[in-house]
């Protein structure tokens, strides 16, 4: 793709350099005898960048200075293997000593190297269905106008990057970011990875959008790389496995951007240290009175055991009271900290204390009374965890465990 982008950029530049001076000379000489310039304006062609083979697409030709559509403009398609020949022919045309009042015969030049698509109608539009896949250069020409050029890929999807990374991580935690090619899932080496803060995302998008107007893919990729270096934090270059490792120093929301010349960029959001850690509970759904059960307290995201978390049990009545209290707080727009405080207060004020988790995150307990309970795990710096449990009557013959 990079080779084609360079070819397109070179062809467009060469054609412009070859044809424009010729028009300028004709214009300059004519102005000595006629006040009306020979070249009135330039054309602009709008067409899809990518289109499927065998499906009609619509192209529109405008007058560049006022965006008025142009009727009767001829649109040509030049295959990549004819671009160089067209460039050489344009250079020869420039050397011709034709009469000053004559404009170059673009149609004659293009007919030797391209395929005519058609002429624009009263709305400046022309439709065409490409039969063969490949990459082409569209050229719009009309007497009295400078031509315009636009690349198009038929049935060829541009290679695009994708990013595999966690959605969240903590400040100082090493994050592994994997860059791969979308569609093939193959790891991509030597892709640069940047992180753009929320404040800079819009600036980055605006800067890239402004450069899109040129229609030059190579120039756009260069502008993208430059904009990332200005607005982003460089995290590293992907290794042979497509991986970059990085530990963020500051909390916040970021947009990860993977970039490599010849590919469309890959994007993925990530939140660093933006949400408090949360607990989770692993416990049986039911048990009998007097049966010793094991309750495990875990960190919700990593599922690692959490030590020194207090575990409580609320009766069904007290659990319903807490539920109503939390519902009221949410409706009033209370923040997460207020909800957490209400849960902890309810547990300590009305709950049955079951124990504090050990190094393996475990608490062992045997309920003395049957009924429905709500288990609650709390620890400073974590959002509490909940889990219901039903305690049945003690089977006949069983005694309470010591």
- Residue 85 belongs to a domain with what CATH number? 2.60.40.10
- SS3 sequence of 134-196: EEEEEEEECCCEECEEEEEEECCCCCEEEEECCCEECCCCEEEEEEEECCCCCECCCCEEEEE
Q: What is the pLDDT of residue 62?
A: 92
Confidence of residue 87 (pLDDT cuts 50, 70, 90): low
Domain boundaries, position 222: 161-272
At which of 243, 272, 301 does a domain end?
272
Domain assignment present for 301: yes
- Domain assignment of residue 401, yes or no: no
Residue with the bigger pLDDT between 300 and 5: it is 300
The reported pLDDT for the residue numbered 233 is 93
Q: What is the pLDDT of residue 96?
A: 54
If pLDDT is split at 50, 70 and 90, which confidence band does 48 have?
confident
Do 35 and 139 sit in the same domain of this protein?
Answer: yes
- Which pLDDT tens digit goes with each residue over 300-340? 888 899 999 999 999 999 999 988 888 888 888 777 778 88
Dist CA 210 CA 144 (whole Å): 29
pLDDT in tens, 8-40: 343 444 434 333 433 343 344 444 444 444 445
C-alpha distances in Å from residue 27, one per residue of 33, 101, 141, 369: 10, 8, 17, 101
Query: Which DSSP state fits 334?
Result: -
Residues 189 and 223 in one domain: yes
Does 256 share its domain with 306? no
SS3 192: strand
User: Where does a domain end: 100, 123, 154?
Assistant: 154
Model pLDDT for residues 212-270, shown as the tens digit of each residue: 554 456 667 777 888 888 889 999 999 999 999 999 999 888 999 999 988 888 999 99
What's the rounded Cα separation, in Å, for the pair 9 and 150?
10
Q: How far is CA 350 from CA 56, 313, 316, in A?
A: 72, 9, 11
Q: How many CB atoms lie within 10 A of CB 174?
A: 9
Q: pLDDT by residue (tens digit) across 158-183?
A: 678 999 999 888 888 999 999 999 87
70 vs 199: which has the higher pLDDT: 70
What is the pLDDT confidence band of residue 154, given thresholds at 50, 70 and 90?
confident
The verdict on 13 and 150 lying in the same domain is yes
What pLDDT does 291 receive? 92
- 135 located within any domain: yes
pLDDT of residue 114: 80
Please tell me the predicted confidence (pLDDT) of residue 3: 39
């Amino acid at each position: 793709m990079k080779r084609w982008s360079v070819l397109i950029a070179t062809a467009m530049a060469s054609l412009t350099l070859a044809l424009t001076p010729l028009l300028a000379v004709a214009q300059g000489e004519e102005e000595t005898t006629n006040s009306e310039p020979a070249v009135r304006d330039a054309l602009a062609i709008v067409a899809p960048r990518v289109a499927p083979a065998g499906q009609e697409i619509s192209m529109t030709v405008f007058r560049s200075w006022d965006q008025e559509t142009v009727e009767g403009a001829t649109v040509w398609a030049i295959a990549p293997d004819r671009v160089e020949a067209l460039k050489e022919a344009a250079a020869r045309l420039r050397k011709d000593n034709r009469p000053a009042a004559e404009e170059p015969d673009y149609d004659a030049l293009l007919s030797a190297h391209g395929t005519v698509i058609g002429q624009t109608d009263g709305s400046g539009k022309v439709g065409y269905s490409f039969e063969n896949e490949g990459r082409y250069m569209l050229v719009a020409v009309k007497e009295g106008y400078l031509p315009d050029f636009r690349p198009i890929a038929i049935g060829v999807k541009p290679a695009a990057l994708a990013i595999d990374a966690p959605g969240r991580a903590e400040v100082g935690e090493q994050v592994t970011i994997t860059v791969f090619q979308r569609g093939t899932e193959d790891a991509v080496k030597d892709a640069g990875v940047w992180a753009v803060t929320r404040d800079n995302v819009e600036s980055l998008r605006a800067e890239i959008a402004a450069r899109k107007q040129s229609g030059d893919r190579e120039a756009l990729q260069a502008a993208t790389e430059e904009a990332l270096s200005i607005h982003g934090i460089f995290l590293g270059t992907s290794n042979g496995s497509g991986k970059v490792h990085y530990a963020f120093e500051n909390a916040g929301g970021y947009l990860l951007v993977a970039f490599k010349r010849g590919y469309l960029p890959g994007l993925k959001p990530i939140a660093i240290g933006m949400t408090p850690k949360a607990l989770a509970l692993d416990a049986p759904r039911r048990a009998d009175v007097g049966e010793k059960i094991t309750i495990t307290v875990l960190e919700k995201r990593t599922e690692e055991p959490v030590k020194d978390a207090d575990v409580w049990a609320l009766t069904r009545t007290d659990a319903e009271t807490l539920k109503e209290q939390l519902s009221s707080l949410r409706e009033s727009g209370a923040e997460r900290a207020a909800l957490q405080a209400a849960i902890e207060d309810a547990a300590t004020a009305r709950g049955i204390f079951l124990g504090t988790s050990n190094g393996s995150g475990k608490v062992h307990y045997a309920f003395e009374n049957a009924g429905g309970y709500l288990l609650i795990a709390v620890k400073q710096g974590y959002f509490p965890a909940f889990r219901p449990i039903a305690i049945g009557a003690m089977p006949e013959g069983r005694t309470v465990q010591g």
